Each structure stands twice: as C-alpha cells, then as structure tokens.
Amino acid sequence: MAKQRRSLSGKVVAITGGARGIGKTTAQALVRKGCRLALGDLDLETAEQAAAELGGGTIACRLNVTDRDSFSAFLDETERQLGPIDVLINNAGIMPVTPFEQESDDSIRRQLEINVYGVIVGTQLAVRRMKPRGAGHIVNMSSSAGKAGVPGIATYAATKHAVVGLTEAVRAECRGSGVELSYVMPITVNTQLIEGLAEQRGVKRIEPEDVTKEIVDALELGKVDLYVPRELRASVMLAGLLPRRAREAMGRFMGIESVMTEVDPAARAAYEERISRNNPDAEPEQEPAEHEAA
C-alpha cells in the first residue's frame, strides 16, 4: 500500500549552502510546496539574491557551517523570523579532486570541517530543538561516494561515509522521539562541483532537480536512504554480493576508477579556486553541499 504524502505547507525549512546548486533548486521546490525557507550561506550576497528570486518570504543568513556559534545563530534567526524549524537540510559541502598522496593538509582539514563537522553540528543543534517538540526532520547530503571508494577523492569519500554513519546512528538514537533523519546519495550532479571531470561509461549525469525530487520525497514520505537515481540502489546491492575481484572489475568497466582521476584542470580551476578561499559553503549533497556529487 502506497504511503500517504504529508503536506509540507507552512513548514519552516533551513538549508545550508542554499545560495546555489542543489540547495537553491531544493528551496525552489519547497517554496512551491508552501514552505517558509531560510537559506544559510557564507556568500550572503548570493544567498540574498536567491532569496529575492524565490519570494514567499524566504530569508537569507550568513552561515559558516564550521563555526558552531554561526550555525546556532543561523537557526536562532530562522526561528525568530519564521518560527520553529521543522526541517534542516545539511547541504553545504566541498569536493576537491586530487591524488591522495598529493593532497594538502589544508584540503583535508577543510573537507573534514565542512563535510563532517558542519553536518554533525547542524544535526546536533537541530535535534536539540526538535526533540522537545516531538517533531522534525533532518536531511543530510551524502553521496554515492559514501558507499564506495573512489580514486581521486579519497578524503571526500571518507567524509561522505561519515555522513551515512552519523545519520544512521543518530536516527537510531531518535527512534520514537518524532525526529526523523534521512540521507541522500547522488551520483555525479551537473553543478560546478563536477566541472572538468570524466564521465562514467553508461552512467548518465543527473541534474540538481533530480536530487531535489528525492529530498521532497524524503520529507513527504519519510524515506531514509535515498539513492539518486533510484536505480543506483540495485547496483550498489548487487555489487555488494559480488566477490571483490568481480566488483572491482565491474567498477573499472564503468569508469569509476577514472572518473575522478582524468581531470581537466583548466575546467575545474574556477571551482577549486573558490573552495580554497575562506568560503566553507561552496556548493554542495549533495551538497557543493553543490552538493554533492559523486
């Protein structure tokens, strides 16, 4: 029997990394559903532009997800202007591409701070607000890399595995409290995050709107682990049943081992330069938060 979709009308939703990419398309979809949105982003100017485009009373706030005080202030301001938060979408994230042995300490630390610490802090702060009310939903942006090891983005893959583990553990702790948790695992998404990367054989890149649709489904239907595209779930499960040598051979055939190593540096220059600056919310989940990709 099909699940009854819940109404999202009037829900207060806070999105990190909401100024662009998956964060922005998700905000657009939720405004159409009647939600009241708060976009958090370190790039306040771009977030304000996005909020103005979205309308519906959408607000924009400066947010550094690596700073607990900043995150708390973002949620405080959201509740001050819009009311108690019903949904938090931890979408902000970055994805540098580099051979592991050559990766700088700064790159490693920034990914851990943005992709892991930021999600942990956001989830914790939201749980503390939602539990006393007995309701709320947290959506964390992971990646298909959170279920695999992808050469060229070893640290990124590690951070996305962390998001999966965190969400599953906190979900278990919140069972029966009325607080729900979900996580989203897209393959490569057409955002600035994947510029200059090779394409996988037989794997079509998806659009931010495809990820947005799954996030909306998570909120309306209470889904937990969302693969994007949905067929990816079967592929992951099948791969898990294969012997390692067969699984790795299948990955090589599909180009998984080259998608993040055959890189066009010139095409990625703008994105890599942006995330190397003091801009933790470079787009994601997802994502960047553009979120996320691969």
Residue 61 has, within 13 A of its CA and on its CB side, a CA count of: 24
Measured at the CA of 285, the angle between CA 22 and CA 237, to 5 degrees, comes to: 125
Say yes or no to pLDDT of 180 above 80. yes
What average pLDDT score do residues 268-287 get?
53
Residue 62 pLDDT class (50, 70, 90 cuts): very high
Name the residue with higher pLDDT: 264 or 285. Answer: 264
Amino acid 281: pLDDT: 41
Amino acid 207: pLDDT: 84
Q: What number of other Cβ atoms are within 10 A of residue 2's Cβ?
A: 5
Annotated catalytic residue within 156, 183, 227, 271: 156
Query: Would residue 156 show up in a list of annotated catalytic residues for this protein?
Result: yes
Largest CA distance in the chain: 55
Say yes or no to pLDDT of 290 above 50. no
What average pLDDT score do residues 57-84 get?
97
Lowest mean pLDDT of 53-67, 228-242, 244-258, name the range: 244-258
Amino acid 236: pLDDT: 65
- Burial 22-54, CB ≥16 within 10 A → b, else e: bbbbbbbbbbebebbbbbbbbbbebbbebbeeb
Amino acid 144: pLDDT: 83
Say yes or no to pLDDT of 289 above 60. no
Separation between Cα atoms, residue 24 and residue 13, nearest integer Å: 12
Q: Which of 207, 199, 170 is nearest to 28 (CA)?
A: 207
Separation between Cα atoms, residue 29 and residue 26, nearest integer Å: 5
pTM: 0.82
Which domains, ranges and CATH numbers included, belong to the chain? 12-276 (3.40.50.720)
CA distances from 184 to 199, 227, 239, 241, 262 (A): 21, 6, 19, 22, 26
Identity (one letter) of the amino acid at 186?
Answer: P
Amino acid 200: pLDDT: 55
Q: What is the pLDDT of residues 11-50, one digit of tens each?
A: 999 999 999 989 999 999 999 999 999 999 999 999 999 9
Cis peptide before 229 (omega within 30 of 0): yes
- Mean of all residue pLDDT scores within the chain: 83
Say yes or no to pLDDT of 112 above 90. yes
What average pLDDT score do residues 207-226 get?
92
